[in-house]
Structure 1
Amino acid sequence: MAGPQTVLRPRISKSCDQCKARKVRCIRENASSVKCKNCWKRGQQCHYSHTKRKLRQPESFVPTPEDRDPGLSSANQAQANPEARKAGLYVDYLLENRHADGVRGWRTENSVVKTADHHIASSCLAFFSESRIRSVSERLGHNKLNELIDMIGAAINARMNRGANSGALIRFKSPSTPEYTSPEAAARYIQAYFDQVHPLYPFLERKEFEEKALSSQLPDYLAASPPFSALYHTVLALGCQYIEGGSFDPGKGKAWKLYQTALGLFSDVLLPKEDLTNLQALIAMSIFALNLSCIQIEETLISEAARMAQTLGYNRASSREACNRAFWVIYTLEKTACFFGGGTSSLNDYDIGCPIPSIPEAVIGGTDWFLSSARFARLVSKAYETLFSVTALLKTPDEYYSAISQVYDDLERWRCSLPKEVRPGEAFRPQYHTSSCSLLICLRSHFYYYGAVIALCRLTLHVGAGTESPYVEEAKKRLMYTARQIIENTRYIDAEPYTPIWMLGVIPLSALFILFDFVVHNPTHPETGTNLALLDVAAGYFSRLEYATGGSLPSSLLSDFSHIARQYVRDVQSNGRQDVSTDSRSAAQVDSYNNASTELAPPHQASIPTSVPDPVPLSYTDPLFYPTTDLQSYTGDDVPVSFDITNLFGAVIPNLPGL
């Protein structure tokens, strides 16, 4: 023990985490440099972790700049500074500390698949950081994963017109020859719209719209009001997808040609004087843009609609129900899109006073899906603010656990507010749905729920990295169970152009990533056989999706994940190798994992809530490994004993002090 005149003080490593991972010499210009030369050249976060050993120093010891952490991020400095945390918002900390580095974004290389090493985004798709790919590739013994991720990123970037080899560019320009639609066909498209789309997004008053759209004076209405013309043509385009089929590619098919007319009126919709019709046109255009063919412009349209809603003051109570309808539809669209896209909402929750109208068309099977969707949007808005925003970086680990627990409570209340037959988290029951619209609404709520759970589990694993918290053990089980549920439900996804790309591709792809990780890190675990089978199911789904898109979406390449994982398991078994995911740890570590799962709360963190989420129905007793340790100790076939979760998914938070 330290004597009365000495105390144990942590020591800062002389090499940053990135240089340790690459096993290169870490050189700084001088002792006060916040970045080493290597990280400066590579444009990476430079962080100097505490070593496991502590130095004995006199109590009167005053640290010099050389003794302080030169690479400590601004977020960590703010966490360690009680006064900064009292400031409330991270921007207040920045204003008080002019030389702070700030917090970088989570995206890297313009890719929606790769992410930076220092962030865990709420997005379900931004999984693989460069260091994460390196660690898995070393474990596999080849670079096929890296090549596969690059191919996926290239395919998505081409869809979004990033780079020289991009696909067709979507232009906000009217077609040279307007698409003619007979009154009879228009009536069918409008009927299909109100049958299939309106119950999900009930922002229109049907009687008022049809009085104009089916009137003999329609040409006059279209000529006099460009916003109404944009609304009318988008409604036709949405309905046309259900009658004559849509397209997975921009610019192809009758539905897209109708939509192109609306896009050509975009500037007229945005220009003053803005009113309800302008907003309705933008909302309709945003709904169409949820599909695969429009991923280039989805974010633009939704953000413009949200901006216009606030500009018009529809976030406050209005005497017109149509205004209230429009606001809550765009609120739901924008909040969920921001959460699952890892972005920041432009709608301020603290300034909303708009009542939620009662809409009979949105009540299906006794369930008010409009109200349920709005409640979920508010839930993820709070989750983003308290857990994934820049200001959330000011939280201590204890505060993170408490906030995560609160979001779980909110999520469970939302889940239980729905009837058991359609409740997210339960087995999906297609027999309870009498229409394709009802099935889609229910499946969307299931995927909403699973997407939120994935985000919470990823964050829990990061916060609890290196600890024996029961939260970490439960998060592993819950993450695997959730990924399985998603893959099982892919058989109910309608592989059609009108299906939102978030449901069609993002959530299933996230589940595939998760199960792939579990298989690779647990090749001899009792649950691995089931996970391999489900990876094959996912491969079949993505092959079916490529067939449905006519090759437009080359998703069959994702079947390689299943091949890589299955071959790795075979190699482990044929070579008689031990499952290094568990056997490389000491028996004491395994016992502590098992014991931790039965405790109510971590004994070393008394301020953490004393409950964990309800257990998932997985009854295995073998320890389940998931990489939450430090990359710097990774060598050869050995599984690292302290791999940081930031290297697994990328992060919203940097390394937490004290873990």
Structure 2
Amino acid sequence: MGTVWPDVRLSDSGDEAPTSPQRSHLIGGHDSKSYLAICSESAVNWLKARVSSADEQSVTDIVTRLSRHADYKSTFMCPPKLKQFPEPDMQMAWKYCQEYFDNRVETLFGAIDRRQFEARLRAHLQDGDNSDSDPSWYALRNTIYATGTRLLLTRTGCDAKTIHESAMQYFLNALSVHTQVLFARQVDLTGVQALTIMSFFAENLLGSSIESMLCSNAIRVAQGLRLNYEPVSNERLSPSDRFVGNRIWWALYCYDKHISLRDGRQSCIDDDDISCALPERQASENPNKFEIFMQMIKSAQIQSLIYKKLFSAAGRRQNTIQERAAVEQLDQALSEWRDSLPLHLRPGAPIKKSSLPAGVHIDPVVYMHYTYYGTVIAMYNKFPWTARGSSLDNAAFGREKAVSAARSVVLATRYIDTDMNTTGCLLFSYPMTALIVLFVHILQNPLAPSAHSDVVLMDMATGHFAQLEFATSMQLEVQFVRDMAHIARRAVEQIRRDAWIDVTPFEAPEPAIFSPTMTGPNLNFMDFLTDDVYAV
């Protein structure tokens, strides 16, 4: 989920009344597949029934803080009228532009042609006209400024509050013309580019959740330009614009399917209504970056199938046999995709920065791993308070796959650069999903052989979120994460003391963290102790 930086503070004081479970359940309208399912009334009741009476209030506090984090999106657009801030001078505008194209990971999509943008920016700066007479161009360049500001100030060591406030001035400029971009008399490619880049920027605003709205807006405008159809339908676009339009469409496709499965919400794109070709690589384009883009598209197509087959209205009406058959088919497709990945992208092996191909940043590599494990969790994880009663709900193999994937997500947090330029799904939503899956699993199976090691993994996840808290100058408070780890540890210790035994599983033993039977290839702990994650 997108994450805001310094503006969102989840206070530890007791001044604010806790959010009721009933209200928490309604926040954001998230599906039971989202990690926010833990904020429902049924989830709170289930959790409280499995902790000591001393920890019941802590469960309420955890849900309150997590709900408040999600609810921040309702206050993001607080100002009744968005103020427009001065744009940077020529020197700084050019620096921000260079930072964006040289260092921003999303440029691998090719949604903005660098030469075209720089030529237009150069002409604009020489003209000296900083008006918003062209809303689409105004929004696009200000979002580039915002992203470039974040990159430049992070690299120079500024604190998170300064970085956020400096970048947000330009992003608010872009938001100030959002309505004009949507309802422009003449829809153009620049408007689609602006909305697309705005949605990518918003992904890093931890807690805002506006990225999904901006993405859906961009898709509607793109469909208005018929970017989802064959080029013959794009008479209004030049050949170069058709190329860029194709890249924009597939970038939006990837992002939309990611959001859909992440939040358990219907996609804005009907796969049956796409006839445009897949992207083609330019001769000057880095083949390693292009490979990542193509693999993102393939994974997004699988995610789209998963939502349609399992979580759509029709998918939810399936009986147990139909559901099991669909899961097996989708699991095979996902496994085949994983096995087809180049070794440096393939989930299941430690990531080594020094062995990455030229021009490949570590973030999209981690994203490929998280996409795979997050998709496994989406397919197999069924929270016990939402079970529909089918035999699949309680199938050990399904639960083991989801929990093993969650373990892998936590282990991979060590590869993440915890700064304001790392995408929000890597920093927050995937690790938070994994943490909650482990938390629920431990409370459900406190006597499992893996319970203690899973508690240790929760401590590792707590360390990741502590780094995130520090990186945001303590403005993103994550005490509820620490509380979850403490509750899980106490639950395991208490039940084992009461039973006077070390381990007495009441069901089939579950796989250890690094068992060869886990989802994906075997992970060797020594690899994680000796890899060169910090190598340049």
Q: What is the aligned counterpart of 1:345 among 267, 290, 301?
A: 267
Aligned partner of 2:304 in structure 1 is 381
Stretch of structure 1 that moved more, 207-216 or 362-371: 362-371
Give the gaps of 5 or more residues in structure 2: 1-19, 232-238, 512-516, 525-536
Any conservation in 2 of the 1:125–1:509 contact (CA below 8 Å)? no
CA distance in 1, matches of 2:86, 2:387: 55
The superposition leaves residues 61-115 of structure 1 with CA deviations (integer Å, 9 ceiling, x where unpaired) of: xxxxxxxxxxxxxxxxxxxxxxxxxxxxxxxxxxxxxxxxxxxxxx963335x97
More helix by share: 2
2:103 paired with 1:191: no
2:195 paired with 1:282: yes
CA distance in 2, matches of 1:354, 1:273: 22
CA distance in 2, matches of 1:359, 1:433: 20
Any conservation in 2 of the 1:234–1:284 contact (CA below 8 Å)? yes
Any conservation in 1 of the 2:32–2:264 contact (CA below 8 Å)? no
Any conservation in 1 of the 2:230–2:277 contact (CA below 8 Å)? yes
2:489 paired with 1:566: yes
CA distance in 2, matches of 1:430, 1:380: 27
Following superposition, the deviation at residue 321 of structure 1 comes to: 0.7
CA 1:614–1:345 in 2, change beyond 3 Å: closer, same or farther?
closer
Aligned partner of 2:258 in structure 1 is 336
> How do 1:420-431 and structure 2 match up within 5 A?
420-431=343-354
2:145 paired with 1:236: yes
**What SS does the aligned partner of 1:110 have?**
helix
Following superposition, the deviation at residue 180 of structure 1 comes to: 3.6
Aligned partner of 1:255 in structure 2 is 167
What amino acid is aligned across from residue 97 of structure 2 in structure 1? Answer: I
Following superposition, the deviation at residue 128 of structure 1 comes to: 4.9
Aligned partner of 1:132 in structure 2 is 43
Following superposition, the deviation at residue 536 of structure 1 comes to: 1.1
Following superposition, the deviation at residue 124 of structure 1 comes to: 4.4
Any conservation in 2 of the 1:172–1:265 contact (CA below 8 Å)? no
Aligned partner of 1:391 in structure 2 is 314
Q: What is the aligned counterpart of 1:304 among 212, 217, 224?
A: 217
CA 1:333–1:614 in 2, change beyond 3 Å: closer, same or farther?
closer
Aligned partner of 2:244 in structure 1 is 322
Following superposition, the deviation at residue 482 of structure 1 comes to: 1.1
Aligned partner of 2:235 in structure 1 is none
CA 1:541–1:417 in 2, change beyond 3 Å: closer, same or farther?
same
CA 1:196–1:499 in 2, change beyond 3 Å: closer, same or farther?
same
What amino acid is aligned across from residue 178 of structure 2 in structure 1? Answer: F
**What SS does the aligned partner of 1:204 have?**
coil
**What SS does the aligned partner of 1:514 have?**
helix
CA distance in 1, matches of 2:252, 2:352: 29
Q: What is the aligned counterpart of 2:325 among 402, 422, 428?
A: 402
CA 1:317–1:471 in 2, change beyond 3 Å: closer, same or farther?
farther
CA distance in 2, matches of 1:548, 1:439: 19
Aligned partner of 1:650 in structure 2 is none
**What SS does the aligned partner of 2:128 have?**
helix
Aligned partner of 1:586 in structure 2 is none
CA 1:363–1:369 in 2, change beyond 3 Å: closer, same or farther?
farther
Q: What is the aligned counterpart of 1:575 among 498, 515, 535?
A: 498
The superposition leaves residues 369-395 of structure 1 with CA deviations (integer Å, 9 ceiling, x where unpaired) of: 111111222211111111101111231
Aligned partner of 1:226 in structure 2 is 135
Aligned partner of 1:111 in structure 2 is 27
Q: Normalized against structure 1, the TM-score is what?
A: 0.66
The superposition leaves residues 205-227 of structure 1 with CA deviations (integer Å, 9 ceiling, x where unpaired) of: 11111111123545358655221
> How do 1:436-455 and structure 2 match up within 5 A?
438-455=361-378
When the two chains are superposed, the root-mean-square deviation of aligned CA atoms in Å is 3.5
Following superposition, the deviation at residue 556 of structure 1 comes to: 3.1
Stretch of structure 1 that moved more, 418-427 or 218-227: 218-227
What amino acid is aligned across from residue 153 of structure 1 in structure 2? Answer: L
The superposition leaves residues 178-206 of structure 1 with CA deviations (integer Å, 9 ceiling, x where unpaired) of: 33423222222112211232434320111
Aligned partner of 2:182 in structure 1 is 270
Following superposition, the deviation at residue 167 of structure 1 comes to: 6.7
Following superposition, the deviation at residue 158 of structure 1 comes to: 4.5
Any conservation in 1 of the 2:281–2:290 contact (CA below 8 Å)? no
**What SS does the aligned partner of 2:408 have?**
helix
Aligned partner of 2:459 in structure 1 is 536
CA distance in 1, matches of 2:523, 2:91: 55
CA 1:313–1:508 in 2, change beyond 3 Å: closer, same or farther?
same
Aligned partner of 2:395 in structure 1 is 472
CA 1:435–1:501 in 2, change beyond 3 Å: closer, same or farther?
farther
What amino acid is aligned across from residue 264 of structure 2 in structure 1? Answer: G
What amino acid is aligned across from residue 174 of structure 2 in structure 1? Answer: A
Query: In terms of Rg, which structure is larger?
Result: 1
Following superposition, the deviation at residue 356 of structure 1 comes to: 2.1
**What SS does the aligned partner of 1:499 have?**
coil
Stretch of structure 1 that moved more, 338-347 or 360-369: 360-369
What amino acid is aligned across from residue 439 of structure 2 in structure 1? Answer: F
The superposition leaves residues 155-184 of structure 1 with CA deviations (integer Å, 9 ceiling, x where unpaired) of: 3145223xxxx5772667242xx3342322
Aligned partner of 1:149 in structure 2 is 62
Following superposition, the deviation at residue 399 of structure 1 comes to: 1.0
More strand by share: 1
**What SS does the aligned partner of 1:496 have?**
coil
**Number of residues paired by the alignment?**
481
Any conservation in 1 of the 2:192–2:218 contact (CA below 8 Å)? yes
Any conservation in 2 of the 1:250–1:256 contact (CA below 8 Å)? no
Any conservation in 1 of the 2:69–2:207 contact (CA below 8 Å)? no
What amino acid is aligned across from residue 269 of structure 1 in structure 2? Answer: V
**What SS does the aligned partner of 1:497 have?**
coil
Any conservation in 2 of the 1:174–1:265 contact (CA below 8 Å)? no
CA 1:111–1:515 in 2, change beyond 3 Å: closer, same or farther?
same
Any conservation in 2 of the 1:231–1:284 contact (CA below 8 Å)? yes
Following superposition, the deviation at residue 308 of structure 1 comes to: 0.9
CA 1:136–1:578 in 2, change beyond 3 Å: closer, same or farther?
farther
**What SS does the aligned partner of 2:280 have?**
coil
The superposition leaves residues 617-636 of structure 1 with CA deviations (integer Å, 9 ceiling, x where unpaired) of: 599xxxxxxxxxxxxxxxxx
CA 1:408–1:394 in 2, change beyond 3 Å: closer, same or farther?
same
Following superposition, the deviation at residue 495 of structure 1 comes to: 1.8
Any conservation in 1 of the 2:229–2:274 contact (CA below 8 Å)? yes
Give the gaps of 5 or more residues in structure 1: 1-41, 45-106, 584-589, 598-611, 620-659
CA distance in 2, matches of 1:120, 1:581: 31
